[in-house]
Chain A
């Protein structure tokens, strides 16, 4: 078993298109100053819809220790 997954963002690559925000089923994400922000991380169900449709590879799930 791998570690649990967590959602990460790379703001340097984000172009603020808002696609991840629109298609997040749990309304976890927001645009803040034109860039992606994980506003409600506790609501994230790690479905990966954001990673799937982000044209810029700026948001993704990755295995990470719980406390990171």
Chain B
């Protein structure tokens, strides 16, 4: 029997991935359907000398996560829709102050308290536009227990590499689903740690970026005293109202993501070689889409799936290429057409873009996707 093969829940795999990536600090607040992530972190972190804290609210959970990361500890928090809304101001703080961390959002139906125990994919746009002001965003969305593990590692790696909060989107289905997972990959994982300063403390300018647009980050308490603020700041880290400084900082924050899209964008293509029609789907819905595709293929319909794993920044180049190849793209998502906007923006000039979704708390099933695809083909 292979000891590395385990049966894990999605939320559990998320914690295992975080620990494999080097998580040492978790601050959060209980919320369905993400709570297992906090519970398992509470159990496992002290055993490795790490720290867990249950904060008084979601806002504090986000703030403490950022505080933990500033001391050099890889930090994570987990939530669902209502908590994700509450965390938004401090996610923006993490973006402008360039503090690496991972925010897991196990999506449920909304708005407001909505459908706490039912799945949805309705925070796709909140992941991009949730906090005020323009800001860089990386959001990832796996679709299996195995992939939750590896994508959580990717989320930490990207957070550390690009000095930015990374949002890991799950949904109630994959968060609570139990599946086989092979943990033998742990030994071969690439783990990235944030770049730390190599200069002396006297020379250190906390927000002076290297050529890769990322400033080296010193741990609080390590001998590099510096200032961190949510105000617009120059390369020293101190506040500035200077319009040139604001322009430069804003552009660097966006450029450090935009110029690395090739590295950040992850996706899966399924049966697209000869496809004339394609689903675009992610998370739990992409699993239903695959089954629908298998069944439609048996009927002779040339259909495939493009599955973005990196939701933001969107895989623009790949979606554009897809739009040049197929006649129709069906965006299937458990919301009222959020990612459809993005796919339309990229693809609508080249092909027909259709939306299929539901917001009744029920997962999208293969049968309804088959039926919808066949209707579109008529």
Asked if chains A and B are in direct contact (CB within 8 A), the reply is: no
